[in-house]
């Protein structure tokens, strides 16, 4: 059984940094594309970043966020710098069945429970 557990969210001021973690069990992340999505208050869930043999980013976070993984720890990270109030959202980790990044949430089969990130102005 695949389980994804996010952590690292919190309340920060604009301009600050946070690093989210997604610990996976039940599968080896190096064999599958992993991604981060987010859902802000009153908004639909949107793509943030994905990683496989290459990384993919939403335009809104490009240059500020970095996705990475530690295969030895079976963990994916999202380093978020220069945070803005519009980054406030629940951030979800996701895993798909193929080793190819995608920005489409319907391509991902497994999801974590989410971690809240709140950025104050």
The whole-number average pLDDT for the span 19-44 is 96
Percent of the chain with pLDDT over 70: 100
pLDDT in tens, 59-76: 999 999 999 999 999 999
Q: What is the CA 4 to chain-centroid distance, rounded?
A: 11
Q: Could you tell me the pLDDT band of residue 10, with boundaries at 50, 70 and 90? A: very high
As a whole number, the mean pLDDT across the chain is 97
Q: What is the pLDDT of residues 29-38, one digit of tens each?
A: 999 999 999 9
Q: What tens digit of pLDDT does each residue of 43-54 get?
A: 999 999 999 999
pLDDT level of residue 19 (50, 70, 90 thresholds): very high
Model pLDDT, residue 55: 95
Tokens 């309340």 appear where? 11
pLDDT for position 97? 92
Contact 57, 44 (CB under 8 A): no
For residue 96, with 0-12 CB atoms within 10 Å meaning exposed, 13-18 middle and 19 or more buried, which class applies? buried
């Amino acid at each position: 059984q695949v389980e994804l557990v996010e952590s690292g969210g919190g309340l920060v001021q604009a301009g600050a940094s946070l690093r989210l973690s997604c610990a996976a069990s039940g599968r080896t992340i190096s064999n599958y594309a992993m991604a981060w999505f987010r859902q802000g208050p009153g908004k639909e869930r949107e793509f943030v970043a994905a990683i496989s043999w290459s990384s993919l980013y939403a335009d809104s976070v490009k240059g500020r966020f970095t996705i990475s993984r530690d295969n030895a720890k079976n963990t994916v990270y999202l380093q978020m710098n220069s945070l803005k109030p519009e980054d406030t959202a629940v951030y979800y980790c996701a895993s798909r069945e193929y080793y190819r990044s995608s920005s489409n949430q319907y391509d991902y089969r497994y999801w974590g429970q989410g971690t809240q990130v709140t950025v104050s102005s």
